[in-house]
């Protein structure tokens, strides 16, 4: 199969390359390397890599003409600077429109879109079903939601996956790499008073396998275990794994104005439609992630949130 992965040098994209390239698929990547890294891409003949911006229609046209993709996995996203609205809009909205239009022009069989759970805003119920109204309120959430809506209006079938926090090799966002890096360095931490759902990369792979083995189903689906864990539980799990016990209780701060207190997705419709279910438990998932950091370390840590700070503290 010929697969185009936008944002293919990021965490999810590069892990999908690692999984599917050895199986004989021909993969093309487009990435601007704002958050993804060139070193994440293997130097193999069956992988073609382009550096560029999906909001640049001429560049994307060149990539489509070269790759002639049957499936587009749309993983590209702008999120690292919450104040840069224009960049978020260019990548997440204009870029998604370009993907939808060119996929139609080139006769693609389908698009797999990766969507943020922030599309739901501050939810009125937990776990959050896909029928929940969309109330995004951050630049990242608003732009990703608009991009998803444009994709769904296109003529190419789109399965849009609203994702829990997926853990796996090269994870460079959120509390797990942050706590690991800071605790190893002897630095202080604090937790936000928030709850999130997490999913192991192997469970994510199993769902993508199923999507690629059948015609693309048009619609939106939550991808999650359906279980929530506090950021303090993440901190405790990392601290226990490292055997580093802070000399004083870690502060727990209220969530920031641009954050959501509790996000836990309801995966029941996904389970019913695709016969899929998350299998890796929380402790095993966290320990797998931390063992990877033991070998490979933590470099950059990104966040879609504005930075919080306290005297001597750090963001989660």
Nearest to 126 by CA among 265, 225, 250: 265
Q: What is the pLDDT of residues 34-64, one digit of tens each?
A: 999 999 999 999 999 999 999 999 999 999 9
Please, which pLDDT band fits residue 308 given cuts at 50, 70 and 90? low
d(CA 203, CA 197) in angstroms, rounded, equals 13
pLDDT of residue 279: 98
Would you call the peptide bond into 55 cis, given omega within 30 degrees of 0 as the criterion?
no
Given this model, what pLDDT does residue 29 score?
98
- Measured CA to CA, the distance from residue 76 to residue 81 in angstroms comes to 15
pLDDT the model gives residue 301: 76
Which pLDDT score, from 0 to 100, does residue 303 have? 61
Q: CA 103, 171, 83: angle at the middle one, nearest 5? A: 70
Is the confidence at residue 314, as pLDDT, over 90? no
Q: How far apart are CA 5 and CA 218, in angstroms?
A: 19
Q: What is the pLDDT of residues 144-200, one digit of tens each?
A: 999 999 999 999 999 999 999 999 999 999 999 999 999 999 999 999 999 999 999
Q: What CA–CA distance (Å, rounded) separates 253 from 191?
A: 6
- Per-residue pLDDT at 247 exceeds 90: no
Cβ–Cβ under 8 Å, residues 290 and 238: yes
pLDDT digit string, tens, across residues 70-107: 999 999 999 988 899 999 999 999 999 999 999 999 99
Q: Is 109 helix (H, G, I), strand (E, B) or coil?
A: coil
Residue with tokens 């700070």: 309
pLDDT-based confidence at 300, cuts 50/70/90?
confident
**pLDDT on residue 311:** 32
d(CA 163, CA 118): 9
Query: What Å distances lie between residue 293 and 100, 144, 287, CA to CA?
Result: 36, 29, 10
The domain 2-167+199-223 is placed in CATH, from the list 3.10.105.10, 3.40.50.300, 3.40.50.720, 3.30.930.10, at: 3.40.50.720
> Which of 167, 121, 118, 123 lies closest to 144 in space, CA to CA?
118
Q: Is the pLDDT at 304 greater than 80, yes or no?
A: no
pLDDT at 310: 40
Question: Across-strand partners of 45?
Answer: none
What does pLDDT average to over the chain? 94
Query: pLDDT tens, 252-294?
Result: 999 999 899 999 999 999 999 999 999 999 999 999 999 999 9
The b-or-e profile of 168-183 (16+ CB within 10 A means b, else e) is bbbbbbbbbbbbbbbb
* Residue 241 near residue 294 (C-beta atoms within 8 A): no
Pick from 304, 270, 272, 278: nearest CA to 128: 270
Answer whether 0.75 is exceeded by the pTM.
yes
**CB-CB contact of 189 with 225 (8 Å):** no
Are the C-beta atoms of residues 207 and 70 closer than 8 Å to each other? no
Q: List, for residues 146-158, the tens digit of each pLDDT value.
A: 999 999 999 999 9
Number of H helices, E strands in the chain: 10, 14
């Amino acid at each position: 199969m010929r697969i185009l992965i936008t944002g293919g040098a990021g965490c999810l994209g590069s892990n999908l390359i690692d999984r599917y390239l050895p199986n004989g698929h021909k993969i093309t990547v487009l990435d601007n390397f704002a958050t993804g890294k060139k070193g994440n891409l293997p130097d193999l003949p069956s992988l073609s890599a382009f550096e560029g911006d999906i909001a640049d229609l001429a560049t994307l046209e060149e990539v489509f003409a070269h790759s002639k993709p049957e499936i587009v996995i749309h993983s590209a996203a702008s999120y690292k600077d919450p104040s840069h609205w224009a960049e978020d809009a260019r990548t997440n909205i204009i870029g998604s429109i370009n993907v939808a239009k060119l996929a139609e022009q080139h006769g693609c069989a389908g698009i797999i879109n990766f969507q943020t759970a922030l599309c739901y805003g501050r939810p009125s119920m937990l776990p959050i079903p896909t029928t929940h109204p969309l109330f995004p309120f951050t630049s990242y959430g608003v732009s990703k939601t608009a991009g998803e809506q444009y994709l769904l209006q296109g003529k190419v079938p789109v399965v849009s996956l609203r994702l829990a926090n997926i853990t796996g090799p090269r994870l460079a966002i959120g509390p797990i790499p942050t706590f690991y890096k800071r605790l190893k360095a002897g630095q202080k931490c604090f937790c936000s008073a928030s709850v999130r759902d997490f999913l192991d990369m192997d469970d994510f792979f199993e769902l993508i396998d199923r999507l690629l083995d059948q015609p693309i189903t048009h619609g939106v689906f939550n991808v999650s275990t359906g279980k929530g864990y506090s950021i303090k539980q993440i901190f405790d799990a990392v601290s226990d794994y490292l055997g580093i016990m802070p000399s004083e209780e870690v502060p727990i701060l209220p969530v920031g104005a641009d954050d959501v207190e509790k996000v836990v997705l309801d995966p029941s419709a996904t389970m019913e439609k695709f016969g899929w279910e998350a299998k890796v438990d929380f402790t095993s998932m966290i320990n797998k992630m931390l063992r990877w950091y033991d070998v490979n370390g933590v470099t950059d840590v990104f966040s879609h949130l504005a930075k919080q700070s306290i005297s001597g503290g750090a963001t989660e």
